[in-house]
Each structure stands twice: as structure tokens, then as C-alpha cells.
Chains A and B, each alone.
Chain A
Amino acid sequence: KAGVTQTPRYLIKTRGQQVTLSCSPISGHRSVSWYQQTPGQGLQFLFEYFSETQRNKGNFPGRFSGRQFSNSRSEMNVSTLELGDSALYLCASSLSQEYNEQFFGPGTRLTVL
């Protein structure tokens, strides 16, 4: 069974640009969560989607947004990139809202110059 896949794996952007990251969950999983990992702030929750609806949102500015499609694939978008957005963005999937095991993808490394 294939794991969580994230594309692209690496991305370099400049300040002011926008970026879209993609996450394909494990087959059959309907919940997708996104996290930002930085050396300074550690792992921080961005948002969670279930059945195409945002169920939870972390404390990030409105420049960070996401969506989920009917096949459970999810995208997150960051607009007007700032240097501080440079991070590893991790996606995790689980079977449902109540199922407690989250499985993580390898992440997308975003560098903002």
C-alpha cells in the first residue's frame, strides 16, 4: 500500500510569490492535516481537512490556505511569500476524524529567497 506522497519535494521561490503544495493521502484515508516544521518554531499545525471541509485551523495568517478534493487529495497554498515561510511542510493522513493514527509524507522543503 503506497504511503502519503507530497509534491514537489523541493521548491525555491522568491518573496512575494505564491506557492501550491500537493498531498495525496494513503488510499482510503479521508482526513488530511498539514504541518509546518522550522528550526525555530518546531512542528506547528496548519489545518485539517475531512470530506472536503476544513475541520481545524491553526494560528497562521490568512496567506496560508488549503483545500481538499473529492478524492481526498489536498493542496495548500501560501500567497505573498515571506522569508519566514521557508520550512518543511508536512502532510499527514488518517482514516477518519476519529481514527487516531496519522501517517506522514516525506514533506516539501520550501525555500524563500
Chain B
Amino acid sequence: GEDVEQSLFLSVREGDSSVINCTYTDSSSTYLYWYKQEPGAGLQLLTYIFSNMDMKQDQRLTVLLNKKDKHLSLRIADTQTGDSAIYFCAESKSGNTGKLIFGQGTTLQVKP
């Protein structure tokens, strides 16, 4: 079946690294995404990874994928107060990328 799970809350100090974790159950998932949602706003696509990749780096963001354990993580280096938001993990399948299955979201609190 389709299920994506995330821890609900993470608190870090400004300047530290943040690691947000996600697990998924559908082994046929092809794309895995990280979205950011700030209060009162829609979803902003941060990055995505194709399921045949292990890692993707984009400036301060590093995505790690362990396909065997169906585990995805997002590392934010040098976390800033502006990174405070809800982060959603999502999955989709090739040829069906219009349907995203989301996790419940992780609230990241960055303390100054």
C-alpha cells in the first residue's frame, strides 16, 4: 500500500544541522520529494530524488535515500531561523507523477 511517515517535530539551534527523516512503504515509488510549507502559504518544492539515486546535494540541502530500508532523509546545513516551517516528504510513481502521497509533515523549529 501507500504510506509515508515522518516524525512530527524537530527543534534545533541556529547554525546547527537539521535532519528530517521519512519512511515509505511502496517499493515501486519512483520519485521522492521534500516540500516546505510556511504559515499561511502553499507548498514549496525544495528538492527531489529519483529512486535509483542514493544522494543528492543542492546547496545547504542533502537528501539521502536508503532504498533497502525505504528511508529518506533531508539534511539542512547551517540551519537558519528562516528555515522554520513544516517539511513534507512525498512520493510518486513514474508515469503517475501527478499524484503525490504525502507524509504528515515535520515541524522544524529553529531557535536563535
Interface of A toward B, CB cutoff 8 Å? 4, 31, 33, 35, 42-45, 48, 50, 55-56, 58, 90, 92, 94, 97-107
Instruction: With both chains docked as a complex, state the minimum distance between the C-beta of B66 and any C-beta of chain A, in angstroms.
Output: 20
A58 to B100, CA, bound (A): 10
User: Given contacts A92-B100, A101-B48, could you give 15 more A-B pairs where the C-beta distance is less than 8 Å?
Assistant: A31-B98, A33-B99, A42-B104, A43-B88, A43-B102, A50-B98, A56-B96, A94-B97, A100-B48, A100-B92, A102-B45, A102-B100, A103-B45, A104-B35, A106-B42
Q: Which of B35, B97, B100, B102 contacts A99 (CB 8 A)?
A: B97
Check if B43 sits within 8 Å of A33, measured CB to CB.
no
Prevailing SS type, chain A contact patch? strand
Tell me if B43 and A90 are in contact (CB < 8 A). Answer: yes
A55 to B102, CA, bound (A): 19
B44 to chain A, nearest CB (A): 7
Interface residues of B (CB under 8 A from A): 31, 35, 41-45, 48, 88, 90, 92, 94-105
What chain A residues lie within 8 Å of B97 (beta carbons)? 94, 97-100, 102
Closest residue of B by beta carbon distance from A90: B42
Instruction: Indicate the member of A31, A48, A100 with the most B CB atoms within 10 Å.
Output: A100
CB distance from B96 to the nearest CB of A (A): 7
Which residue on chain B has the smallest CB distance to residue A93? B98
Docked Cα-Cα span, A103 to B100, in Å, equals 12
User: Looking across the interface, which residue of chain A has its beta carbon closest to that of B98?
Assistant: A48
CB distance from B72 to the nearest CB of A (A): 15
The residues of B that contact A48 with a CB separation of less than 8 Å are 98-99
List, in ascending order, chain B residues with CB within 8 A of A103's CB: 45
Residues of B within 8 A of A43 (CB): 88, 90, 100, 102, 105
A86 to B35 Cα, complex, angstroms: 23
